[in-house]
Every structure is written in structure tokens, then in C-alpha cells.
Structure 1
């Protein structure tokens, strides 16, 4: 592994561990859960990236590990207070995580269709699926708030209102458009190593997002349709 990449990853993982320790000391359960989840995502990304090596052990896609670690760290820090006190922090984290998700989807779709679709169709499908995933995430935040209110516990994810949701989706969309417009194919080598598995993951993930969006969104639609 490149020494610079290794050092950066070590620093990011160590910083996220520090966030976890601070959250534990404050007794902030939501921040602890999010920091722990961010660490898991970062470690999985590092394992995946290091599992595909060539040229003397260099990462095929070091961007995956670094990108995931940065996104997780920013989100973990946000849970300690910046989400509430720094107006642009949520926009930053959504842009970083949104572009990461879109780049992964873009690579998966490119490998799955294998030239059967035009570049414009691939770009449109990628942006649409990325935005749908963003909607699904916002619904998960709403569900987390509802569960917290129902059982009187601190929600693991925090929903800051419909204005914030609109901004979140806007930055998700902007990040997705940027990825396809710049034709970011950093993760295509990883997806191409196992095209069959990539296809299955894409299909099952898409199905889960669609079904989850319908299930979580149906109660909201019914509530909006009810007479006041």
C-alpha cells in the first residue's frame, strides 16, 4: 500500500475512534452508534480495496477506502454537535457521502450493462437511483425519529425538518450529477473483478431501496391525504 494512502487511512480511522471515545465520555448514544457504524464502513472499504491488488500490492481503487473513511469521519463529527451548530456541515456530509454512493452505483451499472446502454442512459439511471437512495435515507431518518418519540429514547439518526430534507436531497442530486458529468469511474476496476456479483448486488440493493421506500413512505402519504 502506498505510504501516503496508508498514513491518511490510519489518521482517519484514529480520528473516528477518537470521536467514538468522546461520544462515549459524553454519554451520547446516537453519536456512539454512528461513529461505530462509520468505523465498520471504513474497515470494510479498506478490506475490499486491499483485496484487489496489482503492481506490487498497490490498491486498485484507494479512493474507495479514503472516500468512505472521510465520509464516515465527517458524519461522526457532525453527530457531536456540528450538525446543529454549523449550517453547512450537513450539506458537506451529504455531498461527500452522496458522491461516494453515486460513484459506486455508476461503476456497478457500467459493469452490469456492459455496453448495452448509451452513456446518457447510464448517467440518467445512476442519478435516478442515487436520488431514490437519498429519499430512502430521509425516510429512515423520519422512522428513527418516530421510533425515538414512541419509546422515549434518543433517535440514532436525527431528522431536522422538511426544509433540511429538501436541502439534503438537493445536495445528493448535485453530487450525483457531478459524478456522472465528470465520468468518475474510479470503482469500475473493483466492480469488473466480479461482474456477476456486482450485478446481483446492484439488483438486490435496488430492490431493497425501492421496497423500503414504498414501505416507509406509504404511512407518510396516507397521513398527508387525511383531512385536517
Structure 2
């Protein structure tokens, strides 16, 4: 699904904004802003790396989806996570749809590529949900570890973690993102599945 050159320009603008956020973190010596900015920008160039090194061409809409998720996270590190109560929920929901999309696309491509693999729709739904929640739990553990390490070192945490209640709410939004992909992923991610399937076919030849 191609959605035009304007999406490519929007991706470039968000990349520039992320670089600006990274620079702010460097100038202000804010480790959290800087590290998350570097991480976010690295994610935005990943589609190009996959296209160049692995011949996996992601369509424009998916690239925009990825960039928007990390862009919102990078902005949140400037203070929106603390000042806007729903910002963390928004970024978790969007990030969870990306994680679920990766899990769904990979499993669906394996399903179509191999006659030895068959994933019924109900199994796929449960798989996407569990895959996303497992990734969410791993992320929460990383947030907790980052916060603890920051306190020991005496710097601002690279990742923000607000306690057990926040973790539970984060996982609820992770689950919501997984459900959205499980219900509507067939149409949105069909081109991504075909790209992965072509890659698997080339490797098996």
C-alpha cells in the first residue's frame, strides 16, 4: 500500500526532529534524552538497512508507522511523559502494535512458506497477544533495571518507570495494541508478509 511522497517527507521531518532532540540531550547533558534520541534515530534508519543488506523492502506506510512510534517516544523524553498523563499510554499502544506486527508478519510468512507449518486463526490471535505481552514484560524489566542503575550511578534514568501500577497499565495498553493487530493485521500487513515470504523463498532456493 503506497501512500505517496508526502509520507516520505514526513518521515524525513521526523528524523530531523529526532536528531534535534538528540542534540538537545547532548547540549543539556541529559543522558536519557540523548540515549533515547540515538536509539530512536537508529530505528528510523532500520528500514533502509533492511532494504540494502537483506533486500527486505518495507512499504512507505510501515516506515511511517515505525518512525512515528519512536518519534513520539523521543518527544516524550523531553518531559511529556511527566506532564501529559496519557502520553505513556499512547506510546505504549503504538509501540505494541509495531511489536505485534513483527510477530504477526513473521509467523504468517512462515505459515505460507512451509507446508509443515499451519497456524489457525485462533492460534494466531493468541500467539500475537502472547508475543506482544512477553515483549512488553521484557521492556518493563529493562525500564526497572535502567532506573535502578541510574540511581546507583547518580544520573537521570535512560528509561522511565513509575512503579507496579504503571507497569500493569502499560501491559494493558500493550495487550490492546496486540488485539488491534490480531484483528486487522491481515489487510494492513499483507505487503510486509509478502516481502518476508519472498525473502524466505530466496533463501530456500
Which category describes the TM-score, using the shorter chain as reference length? 0.7 to 0.9
Q: Is the 8 A contact 1:52 1:60 kept in 2?
A: no
Q: Once structures 1 and 2 are overlaid, which stretch shifts more, 125-134 or 175-184?
A: 175-184
**5 Å matches for 1:128-143?**
128-143=130-145
Gaps of 5+ in 1: 54-58, 199-228
Aligned to 2:189: 185
Question: Where does structure 1 differ by over 3 angstroms across 4 or more consecutive aligned residues?
Answer: 49-53
Q: Does 1:99 align with 2:92?
A: no
* Aligned-CA RMSD value: 2.3
1:172 is displaced (CA, Å) by: 0.5
Moved more, 17-26 or 167-176: 17-26
Structure 1 counterpart SS, 2:174: helix
2:9 to 7, 10, 31: 7
Is the Cα–Cα contact under 8 Å of residues 147 and 161 in structure 2 kept in the other structure? yes
Q: 2:146 aligns with which of 122, 141, 144?
A: 144
Alpha-carbon spacing, 1:117–1:13, altered in 2? closer, same or farther (3 Å): same
Q: 1:197/1:160 Cα in 2 relative to 1: closer, same or farther (>3 Å)?
A: farther
1:194 equivalent to 2:199? Answer: yes
SS in 1 for 2:78: coil
Is it true that 1:70 corresponds to 2:68 in the alignment?
A: yes
Instruction: Give the alignment of 1:197-216 within 5 angstroms.
Output: none
Q: How far off its partner does 1:193 sit? A: 2.5
Give the whole-Å Cα distance in 2 for the aligned partners of 1:94 and 1:49.
27
Q: 1:49, 1:61 within 8 Å by CA — same for their partners in 2?
A: no
Q: TM-score, normalised by structure 1?
A: 0.77
**Which residue number corresponds to residue 89 of structure 1?**
87
> Structure 2 vs 1, CA of residues 196 and 94 (structure 1 numbering), >3 Å: closer, same or farther?
farther
Indicate if the aligned counterparts of 1:102 and 1:126 stay in contact, CA closer than 8 A: yes
Cα shift at 1:148: 1.6
Aligned residues: 193
Cα distance in 1 for partners of 2:98, 2:49 equals 17
- Pair 60,90 (structure 1): closer, same or farther in 2 beyond 3 Å: closer
Which ranges of structure 2 fall in alignment gaps of 5 or more residues? none
TM-score, normalised to structure 2, is 0.85
